[in-house]
Structure 1
Amino acid sequence: MPQMIFVNLPVKDLDKSKAFFAALGFSFNPQFTDDTAACMVVSDTIFVMLLTHEKFRSFSPKPIADTSQALQVLLTLSRESREAVDTIVAAALAAGGTSTDEPQDHGFMYDHSFLDLDGHAWGVMWMDPSALRS
């Protein structure tokens, strides 16, 4: 079985968060989605569990971070092209997300980022595969 990752994020309004991420093109696994949690599918091995604050607290040994004051984690997704980076960031902004910076073009890498409805930071990047060869 391949290694998998489940990122758990607290959200204030589960339905609004599901709508936000659906607008970015993500789907949800109904087996692990109910009125307290939604399993967002990023890939075959990467999932983001959107959890109500109450549900998140039942798993967390620490209080939920105040994302208006500080970041606890920066999540970064890769995309297949610069255009795909721009597309998902534009979708995030259209769905109510907030831009955090201007796109950064490093030649071999291109990135941009946004905050979701709960203030979680998402980076989106593309890297030229030929730059990875030595």
Structure 2
Amino acid sequence: MKTRLIWGNLVSGDLKKTAAFYTALGFKQHHGSEELVSFVFGETSQFIINFFTEERLSNPVNGGLSILKNANEAIFSLSADSREEVDQWVEKVRKAGGTIFSEPQHYEQGYTFGFADPDNHKFNILYWPGM
């Protein structure tokens, strides 16, 4: 059995704001409707994050996801090719209206920072030599 695509499903409090944020960061929109907006993460287009309205995900089949304000549901890690690229991401996130929850820092041999989108979904950008 082969996995062709991977989807992450998250809740958005405002789909238009979510779409504007991820578009400003340069991600390619995969799908959009009144109930969801999806973006492709990664060069291979095999990981897509769907941002649904809370009403859509309140369906018991989907497990009733919600927006967490004081906890982490997950932290998605995105790779960068250099320390300079990590710093460029910091500026893009700030301009797009994201929140930096972990300022750029050296971690072992890598360099990273963490940000949250308008709904507090967490990401970190990481440069790790050789990866």
Q: Check whether TM > 0.5.
A: yes
| Number of the residue aligned with 2:37 | 38
Instruction: Give the counterpart letter for 2:101 in structure 1.
Output: T
Deviations 1:9-57 (A, max 9, x none): 100000110000111010112xx32111111011321111111111222
In the alignment of these two chains, the number of paired residues is 127
Identity %: 28
| Number of the residue aligned with 1:22 | 23
| Structure 2 counterparts to residues 1-134 of structure 1, below 5 A | 3-29=4-30, 32-43=31-42, 44-58=45-59, 59-65=61-67, 67-106=68-107, 108-129=109-130
Once residues 104 and 54 of structure 2 are traced to their aligned partners in structure 1, the CA distance between those partners, rounded to angstroms, is 32
Contact 1:109–1:125 (8 Å) recurs in 2: yes
TM-score (norm 1): 0.84
Contact 2:80–2:86 (8 Å) recurs in 1: yes
Bigger fraction of residues in strand: 2
SS of alignment partner, residue 103 of structure 1: strand
Contact 1:93–1:114 (8 Å) recurs in 2: no
Instruction: Give the counterpart letter for 2:62 in structure 1.
Output: S
